[in-house]
Amino acid sequence: MSLTIGAPAPDFSLSATGGRTVSRDSLKGKPFVLYFYPRADTPGCTKEACAFQTGLPDFAKLDATIIGVSKDSMKALEKFAEKYSLAFPLASDPDAKVIEAYGAWQEKSLYGRQYMGIERSTVLVDSQGKIAKLWPKVKVTGHAEEVLQAIQAL
């Protein structure tokens, strides 16, 4: 990840599930979490999304917004959100511009083949709009709880 703790969060504005638009400017004054995941409705991504959904009341108590970001189409994201009753926004970044700006667009390797793709990673932005914490190469189990603890510590 090319981001630095304490640096201003890169600007973004993306279409999201439920007819929403999510942007850095609309979230000013409260903490938010951008978590980047490879593909909706795959096992790891589903487990991660459901963990954030389960923790949503705790995040809400801290006035923190959770936003999932992938290259998936809005249609795929709406279907995923509906299937698992995900109330937080899932944002579509088909050109990977925001994914790249937040350092989640990485070279990956599968069966010896190199390709570019989304590294499962999370960024916590504080209420001042600055990067507060980075989680590169996220392991899904226990991650939502870790993020919650980091927000509580702000």
Rounded-to-integer distance, Cα 120 and Cα 43, Å? 13
Tell me the catalytic residues. Answer: 45
Rounded-to-integer distance, Cα 85 and Cα 50, Å? 9
Question: How far is the CA of 140 from the CAs of 6, 114, 145, 146, in angstroms?
Answer: 25, 23, 10, 10
